[in-house]
Amino acid sequence: MNQEKQFFLSCLKDGPLALRKISNRMRDRFETSPAGIKDVLLQEGLIELAYSKREGAMQKMNHYFKLTGKKLSQKTPVDTVVVSDKWEDGTVKSKGNAFDWANKPCGLFNKSELAQMRQKYHNNNPITLYSRA
């Protein structure tokens, strides 16, 4: 999506340009919607509406956009979550129970272990496997 944003902004570097012209240029190069890219850039404050006017025989409204001067950020900051051993009131969190799934050992069975379980239960009890996605 960064390439699409960069292309949209490069179309506007020479001054205001109609969204229809930018859409026609982007249609051949990218599969994403130019209107979606426009919405994201508007929300980030990188472009703004310069003016709108009616053009052509059908008098369709053309919206012209221009750059605001703000630069496109390459990286977005990542929110870090600090996990503590105590609740907000100072009570110690419990460990080793069903709610402590993050610290429990987990893994998948290999084919030989599954074969042994099937043989042990004589295929009478189907084994349901769950995994974390």
For residue 104, the model assigns a pLDDT of 63
Domains and CATH numbers, the chain: 2-67 (1.10.10.10)
Residues 46-59, buried b or exposed e (16+ Cβ, 10 A)?
bbeeeeeeeeeeee
* Whether this model's pTM surpasses 0.95: no
For residue 32, the model assigns a pLDDT of 83
Q: Which pLDDT tens digit goes with each residue over 69-117?
A: 877 666 666 666 667 788 888 888 777 666 666 666 666 677 788 778 7
Give the separation between CA 20 and CA 61, rounded to whole angstroms.
Answer: 10
pLDDT at 16 over 70: yes
Q: Which pLDDT tens digit goes with each residue over 19-37?
A: 888 888 888 788 888 888 8
Among 1, 63, 73, 64, residue whose Cα is nearest residue 37? 1
Dihedral over Cα of 34, 23, 12, 16: its sign: negative
For residue 129, the model assigns a pLDDT of 63
For residue 85, the model assigns a pLDDT of 80
